[in-house]
């Protein structure tokens, strides 16, 4: 009886849509009748594509029914729900999305799915994403999506107000955002803002703040060698700069924004610049207010002269307490397949983990900005989840809370970073 996740959805959302992949390309693994549950992604228009993915799978494997429910949009909330479920050794959810930072935390509760893949299938993925999911000789998840923080900007407004292109530095973004915001408000749009980002106290703020910190030369929170890198002038300076944006070029409410909150302002045509992930590209194309007048580029550089983009990404894994592990593994394998990653690239501008898709003509035609992503991913910065292991969630929470305190004016940046350093030292035993 599946009860744990009932509160997340009024009912399980059954699959619908048109099959994309050839039925004979799908490995059903088992002939056993099974009903499995998958925690889906509620962000943007991803739910619709996931239902198409499920429909293709069910058409090829009529013995397996996949029930989809929406998980929380927040990665932190999703992890909390997983941990509660695993503490009870519950099989309520069979197949789950796993954030790039979560394999180390969830490894003891996920099935080794490596035996269900050929080496050729694994070799098609970027090696780093395979390695990220390996624990010893086991593979606890398979990657299906990569990402990095990116800058969206209004090309029409940048040109209208006399700028040559995207801002090269955060200081240039600040200047351009203010000029454009002032101009648009003078036209009567009091809801217009210069820049929106993810400022709520959750994992998304950790990602944003890490980009600010690294690009300003402030380090990486915790280095691969275990050195705590938060209490330094470069980090303090950039956090003070960002705090100054709140209520000036960014809405006062940005301190409560997650991805979809920022995207909503942007989608309505009420922002000149937005920091977000690649998924927002497809939905922006649907915005009548923007009407195609935007581009996506690497984030600005800080005083260090270089930019940083927090590496994101998702894998899909199988609950080791599942009643139907083989059926769940079959769906996970299908979800991460070439055809399904291609579907998400075309429908949702989701970056694949399969290298060949970046040369696929259909993908490039649908998402031309993929051609310019090499620099973004080369500059992508991992969060310190490997060096901190199972303590990463606590590290991230301490970090995002300290940054949030600065953005909300509860603490000045210097005080916040001194206290954060002490907290991290106590947590990590430094």
Position 45 scores a pLDDT of 84
What DSSP letter does each residue of 351-389 carry, written as one string? BPSBGGGGG-HHHHHH-GGGGG-HHHHHTEE--THHHHG
Position 378 scores a pLDDT of 55
- CATH classification of 6-140+311-373 is 3.40.50.300, yes or no? no
Distance CA 58, CA 54 (A): 6
The answer to whether residue 75 scores a pLDDT higher than 90 is no
pLDDT digits (tens, 9 = 90+) for 351-369: 898 988 988 999 999 988 7
The answer to whether residue 371 scores a pLDDT higher than 80 is no
The answer to whether residue 328 scores a pLDDT higher than 90 is yes
The token duo for 266 is 């942007």
Position 288 scores a pLDDT of 97
- Higher-confidence residue: 382 or 245? 245
Q: What are phi and psi of 216, to 5 degrees?
A: -95, 0
Question: What residues have CB less than 8 Å from 196, skipping those under 6 apart?
Answer: 250, 251, 254, 257, 261, 262, 265, 266, 271, 273, 274, 275
The answer to whether residue 12 scores a pLDDT higher than 50 is no
Distance CA 379, CA 14 (A): 39
Strand order in the sheet with 294-297: 193-196, 271-276, 150-154, 294-297
- Confirm whether 6-140+311-373 and 150-308+379-428 share one CATH topology: yes
Q: What is the mean pLDDT of the chain?
A: 90
34-57 residues labelled b (16+ CB within 10 A) or e (exposed): bebbbbbbbbbebeebbbbbbbbb
Please state the pTM of the whole predicted model: 0.77
Cα 392 to its chain centre, rounded Å, is 16
Position 126 scores a pLDDT of 84
- Higher-confidence residue: 307 or 422? 422
Residue showing tokens 């490039």: 364
- Higher-confidence residue: 380 or 126? 126
The answer to whether residue 1 scores a pLDDT higher than 60 is no
Question: Which of the residue ranges 180-189, 346-355, 375-384 would you say has the lowest mean pLDDT?
Answer: 375-384
The answer to whether residue 274 scores a pLDDT higher than 70 is yes
Position 91 scores a pLDDT of 95
The answer to whether residue 18 scores a pLDDT higher than 80 is no
Position 43 scores a pLDDT of 83
Question: Which of the residue ranges 8-17, 118-127, 183-192, 313-322 would you say has the lowest mean pLDDT?
Answer: 8-17
The answer to whether residue 53 scores a pLDDT higher than 50 is yes
SS3 content of the chain, % helix, strand, coil (to 5): 45, 20, 35
Q: What is the mean pLDDT of residues 61-83?
A: 91
Position 375 scores a pLDDT of 59
Indicate the fold that domain 150-308+379-428 takes in CATH: D-Maltodextrin-Binding Protein; domain 2 (3.40.190)
Question: What residues have CB less than 8 Å from 345, skipping those under 6 apart?
Answer: 351, 352, 357, 360, 363, 366, 367, 370
pLDDT digits (tens, 9 = 90+) for 160-209: 999 999 999 999 999 999 999 999 999 999 999 999 999 999 999 999 99
- Higher-confidence residue: 66 or 133? 66
Position 377 scores a pLDDT of 63
Domain boundaries, the chain: 6-140+311-373, 150-308+379-428
Q: What is the mean pLDDT of residues 406-418?
A: 98
- Higher-confidence residue: 385 or 328? 328
Q: CA dihedral defined by 58, 64, 69, 70, rounded to 10 degrees?
A: -50
Percentage with pLDDT > 70 across the chain? 93
The answer to whether residue 4 scores a pLDDT higher than 60 is no
Query: Which has the closest alpha carbon to 196: 297, 271, 298, 294?
Result: 271
In this prediction, residue 312 has a pLDDT band, given cuts at 50, 70 and 90, of: confident
Other beta carbons within 10 angstroms of residue 200's beta carbon come to 22
Burial class of residue 175 in the structure, from the number of CB atoms within 10 Å of its CB (0-12 exposed, 13-18 middle, 19+ buried): middle
Asked if 204 and 259 count as a contact pair (C-beta separation under 8 A), the reply is yes
pLDDT digits (tens, 9 = 90+) for 94-104: 999 999 888 88
The answer to whether residue 9 scores a pLDDT higher than 50 is no
In this prediction, residue 372 has a pLDDT band, given cuts at 50, 70 and 90, of: low
DSSP state letter for 195: E
In this prediction, residue 20 has a pLDDT band, given cuts at 50, 70 and 90, of: very low
pLDDT digits (tens, 9 = 90+) for 214-270: 999 999 999 989 999 999 999 999 999 999 999 999 999 999 999 999 999 999 999
């Amino acid at each position: 009886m599946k009860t744990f996740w009932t509160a997340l959805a009024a009912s399980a959302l059954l699959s619908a849509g048109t099959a994309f992949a050839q039925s004979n390309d799908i490995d059903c693994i088992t002939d056993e009748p099974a009903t499995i549950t998958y925690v889906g992604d509620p962000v943007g228009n991803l739910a619709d594509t996931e239902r198409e993915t499920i429909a293709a799978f069910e058409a090829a494997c009529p013995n397996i029914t996949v029930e989809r429910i929406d998980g929380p949009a927040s990665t932190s909330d999703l992890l909390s729900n997983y941990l509660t479920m695993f503490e009870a050794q519950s099989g309520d959810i069979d197949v789950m999305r796993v954030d790039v930072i979560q394999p180390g935390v969830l490894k003891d509760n996920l099935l080794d799915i490596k035996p269900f893949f050929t080496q050729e299938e694994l070799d098609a993925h970027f090696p780093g994403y395979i390695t990220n999911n390996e624990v010893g000789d086991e593979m606890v998840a398979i990657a299906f999506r990569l990402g990095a923080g990116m800058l969206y900007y209004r090309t029409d407004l940048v040109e209208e107000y006399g700028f040559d292109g995207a801002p090269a530095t955060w200081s240039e973004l600040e200047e351009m955002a203010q000029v454009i915001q002032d101009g648009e408000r003078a036209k009567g749009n009091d809801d217009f803002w210069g820049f929106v980002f993810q400022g709520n106290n959750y994992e998304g703020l950790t990602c944003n703040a890490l980009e600010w910190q690294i690009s300003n030369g402030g380090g990486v929170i915790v280095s691969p060698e275990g050195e705590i890198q938060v209490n330094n002038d470069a980090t303090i300076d950039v956090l003070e700069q960002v705090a100054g944006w709140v209520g000036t070029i960014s809405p006062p409410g940005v301190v409560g924004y997650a991805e979809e909150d920022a995207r909503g302002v942007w989608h309505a045509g009420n922002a000149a610049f937005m920091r977000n992930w690649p998924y927002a590209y497809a939905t922006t194309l649907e915005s009548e207010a923007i009407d195609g007048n935007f581009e996506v580029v690497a984030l600005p550089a800080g005083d260090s002269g270089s930019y940083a983009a927090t590496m994101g990404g998702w894998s899909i894994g199988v609950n080791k307490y599942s009643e139907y592990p083989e059926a769940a593994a079959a769906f996970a394998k299908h979800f991460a397949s070439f055809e399904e990653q291609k579907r998400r690239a075309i429908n949702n501008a989701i970056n694949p983990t399969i290298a060949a898709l970046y040369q696929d003509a259909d993908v490039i035609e649908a998402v031309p900005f993929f051609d310019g992503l090499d620099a973004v991913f080369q500059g992508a910065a991992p969060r310190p989840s490997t060096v901190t292991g199972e303590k990463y969630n606590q590290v991230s929470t301490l970090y995002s809370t300290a940054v949030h305190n600065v953005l909300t004016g509860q603490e000045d940046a210097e005080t916040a970073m001194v206290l954060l350093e002490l907290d991290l030292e106590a947590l990590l035993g430094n």
